Amino acid sequence: MDKGRHEQFLEFRKKYPKFIYSKYRVSESGEALSLDFHFIIPGLSEFKPHWEITKSNLFSFDINDKQLDDLIFSLGMVELVSYWKITCSPEVHIECGTLSQAQSDWWKKLYKKGLGEFFYTNGIPVADDFMNIVSHVNNFNTPIENKINNGTPKVLIPIGGGKDSAVSLELLRDCAERYCYMINPKKAALDTVSASLIPSENVIIASRTLDDNMIALNKQGFLNGHTPFSALVAFSSVIAAYIHGIEYIALSNESSANEPTVLDSDVNHQYSKRWIFQVRLTGTC
């Protein structure tokens, strides 16, 4: 165990006891839906990450729709963990939304499990009380309306450039109208889409921009490490599907995603690729 990082972990938590999810802003241009999030570590820094998700001219949506607003708020709940990990503040204050106790527990489990590799590599033992989420209490959930048509199903397939998404593309070739979704795509992802002959109007690209203040603090020696990127893919792909009127999302993960990457532990490189996360995300468990 790296005792130095554990000591820093305790020091940062004492010095910076609060992390704030302050607000988010939604806007749109002719080409994209723009999302801006605002996080604060009082006494240290503010962070304003930015997203843009390309729109379709063939499908319209209401930017003020309550369901869309809930989805964007939830994406912020995933995005915040990349900034929270800088100091691992013991309290996370949600000022722009409401959570039930069950929802708070859901998010805490994602953070704890999704940061398993981060805690392990930094030598940080984590108990169940590692975080307290403070928010206004909401005792109900807003269900997402299913917009299912009776024709050929529309299916959104997140593409990372690996073999798993390529398999999904081929399996769905003759039974669905395929859409591809990529975040800051690299050449391998673009080549996968090109090889699958997906028309350009069925390609949805998200641009995610990290805040420079986080990068600067990482260079100064604040806590850094792996975060659950695949959870960002999951939540942002739902937004992409929603604003394009796509009924289904097909996400492929290798079976090894369910196996621990550290012997005799439940630490997993990508907890949010595990089957249990997918089940919990869809509310079937």
pTM, two decimals, is 0.89
Question: What are the residues facing 209 on neighbouring strands?
Answer: 50
* Separation CA 157–CA 168 (nearest Å): 7
What burial class does residue 74 get, using C-beta atoms within 10 Å of its C-beta: 0-12 exposed, 13-18 middle, 19+ buried?
middle
* Separation CA 95–CA 14 (nearest Å): 22
To the nearest 10°, report the CA torsion of 6, 82, 185, 73.
Answer: 160
Distances (CA, A) of 201 to 58, 181, 213: 9, 11, 35
* Separation CA 248–CA 41 (nearest Å): 37
Q: Contact 100/137 with Cβ under 8 angstroms?
A: yes
* Separation CA 227–CA 109 (nearest Å): 13
Residue with tokens 């369901």: 67
* Separation CA 110–CA 233 (nearest Å): 14
* Separation CA 140–CA 158 (nearest Å): 30
- Kindly give the confidence (pLDDT) of every residue in the chain, 285 residues in length, as a single tens digit, with 9 standing for 90 and above: 445 589 999 999 999 999 999 999 999 998 999 999 999 999 999 999 999 999 998 898 999 999 999 999 999 999 999 999 999 999 999 999 999 999 999 999 999 988 988 998 899 988 889 999 999 766 445 555 555 555 789 999 999 878 888 888 999 999 999 999 999 999 999 999 999 999 999 999 999 999 999 999 999 999 999 888 889 999 999 999 999 999 999 887 666 665 666 655 566 656 655 556 666 666 644
Q: Contact 133/104 with Cβ under 8 angstroms?
A: yes
Could you give phi then psi for residue 53, rounded to 5 degrees? -120, 125
Amino acid at 2: D
* pLDDT value at residue 128: 85
* pLDDT value at residue 254: 67
**Domains of the chain, residue spans:** 3-145+208-227+271-282
